[in-house]
A and B are shown apart, each in its own frame.
Chain A
Amino acid sequence: MITVEHLTRRFGTVTAVEDLSFHLERGEVVGFLGPNGAGKTTTLRILAGYLPATSGRAEVAGLDVLRRSLDVRERIGYLPESVPLYREHRVEEMLAFQARLHGMPRREWRRRVPEVLARVGIDERRRSLIGHLSRGQRQRVGIAVALLPAPEVLLLDEPTSGLDPLQRMEMRGLLGELARDHTVLLSSHILPEIEAVCPRVIILNRGRMAADGTPEALVRQLGHATHVRLEALVGADIDAALHTLAGLGGVDRVVDDGPRGLHRSFRILCEQDLREQVGVLAAERGWALRELSWYRPTLEQIFARIALDMDAEERAGRASTTAAPVVAAAGVKAGPGARQAAQAEREERR
């Protein structure tokens, strides 16, 4: 339904999107993730026919977005992040305008307007001036406007930004519903939302594709941080303990995190949850356990990893073995603040 091949878009000397390629089947629901400035909006704008690409190709429903722009625009429901609506008009009028722009027959849109308004849950405000609506209500009207011509493809740019938690939850429900009968590409940096709604996620970073797959697959592929954490009294011979742990089936590597008081802390890197095996081993050896837990990075942590380019740093050998807690700290919120905090933390560790 959507095909993007080697898409590049430059603004002067700034490259917003670079050599991006992906494909969406009909009916797929894909989440576009990435920090601010990663190129999500630019890509959506190119697909919506608002921006031309510098090079590369984009197709919607088999039509080139540049050459068959008007045909493509007829098939797309696009909601920009700014939720552009004429504030001086009433909700109904805005929808009527959209219907006329799409050349819908009057009889049809008369029937559909109450339908889509009910669907987004704002039918009681249809006579209200758009300027008088709250941010969340405008967001719904924006979605109603995008939905009205019954487009095959929905492009939603940050549909939940600026909503309160309750509205966000409702929006998530609505997005889930929409996913049933549209091909949807939506961008967000609210990760739980994407995880809840999208079976597939594309992560962009600095205009490039950083990852593409189901959230679980991404966690598996990019995680390489699933581990069992063990804190125990292992006696004086640390090397022997390390060796014993590494000898367990399914263990990739064991990292010694140093003493925690009398206890010693280990990270046992493994793909499968090996808590039971480690527990049995500890019982056999008579180690007094204080902690035995299973760590699996969330999509948020992976996102933060990509956004902060931690993998690259790790490859460069700069990050210490204690990089994992940094990821966890940054994963709470991948905003610029978190970024600074994480950076400061890393500086400290060095």
Chain B
Amino acid sequence: MRGTWTIYRRELAGLFLGPLAWVLLGLALCVNGFFFTLYLVGTQGDVNATMMLAQGGSRSFWGLLILMPPLITMRLISEESRTGTLEFLLTAPVSDLAVVLGKLMAATSLLALLWSSILVYAGTLSVLGPAPDWGPVLTSLLGAALLSALFCAIGLMASAGTGTPLLAAFLAFVANVALLSLPFLPGLLGLGPEHLLTRALAEMDVIAHFQASFLVGVLDSRHLLFFLVWTAFFALVATRLLEARRWRG
């Protein structure tokens, strides 16, 4: 779509010209590296198990995944609205969807950069000892990027719907936690495994979708589509919310 690439480049530059992206990247890399060493020791040197834990099989990964996107996306729309540059973007000859997609791609790229640190770990292991299985490493990297896109779309939605970045981050964080907890809901309600809601929510199990395919090195179009469709859905909602800002004025 026209303008998406231009906005993507501007947003990515904007992210890296501010201190926030660097601070977040630095912190996340430290956390990631710390846990990676921990997993390597914990699995007694099983490199493949370590790689799986580091990239989607552990709480540290999901923790970062629900924390980072809200912090990166919180400013993208609400802050621009406050400084007035949103008025510039929304009067440029590009569609609202292009604005949202450009921002979504930029935020996702930043997170993909973070997750790509897994390549450094895998590379280090290959040089210093037994090489990990590269297939799952690469698919889990792709999966992590897709997951990031999903959570960034939620973050953008929150940013488009609120006036202050902090509120946007908080709402997005809550939404992320809620999304990941959906599969536990039937258990809390005491519904059996055959109940319609249980089966429906099992389809919404983000973690299961990721762990059943990308983590173990399988590229399954069903899971791929799951992430793409939901990302598109939240991106569209974000676009509508951006449009609603025009009506509110």
Contact = CB atoms under 8 A, between A and B. Distances in A.
Interface of A: 9, 11, 16, 42, 45, 48-52, 70-71, 73-74, 76, 78, 80, 82-89, 93, 97-98, 100-103, 145
Given A80-B87, A101-B3, A88 B249 contact: no
Given A84-B85, A88-B17, A52 B92 contact: no
13 contacts: A50-B90, A50-B246, A71-B93, A78-B91, A84-B83, A86-B85, A88-B17, A89-B13, A89-B17, A97-B6, A101-B94, A103-B3, A145-B88
Interface residues of B, number: 26
A84 B92 contact: no
B87 A52 contact: no
Q: Is the interface of B mostly helix, strand, loop or mixed?
A: helix
A129 B40 CA distance: 46
B249 A97 contact: no
B84 interface: yes
A101 B92 contact: yes
A84 B93 contact: no
A48 to B, nearest CB: 5
A46 B94 CA distance: 16
A80 B14 CA distance: 21
Nearest to B96: A69
A67 to B, nearest CB: 14
A76 B87 CA distance: 14
A71 B93 CA distance: 7
Contact of A86 (B14, B91, B93): B14
Contacts of A70: 93-95
B19 to A, nearest CB: 10
A49 B17 CA distance: 29
Given A51-B246, A82-B84, A76 B13 contact: no
A70 B248 CA distance: 20
B199 interface: no
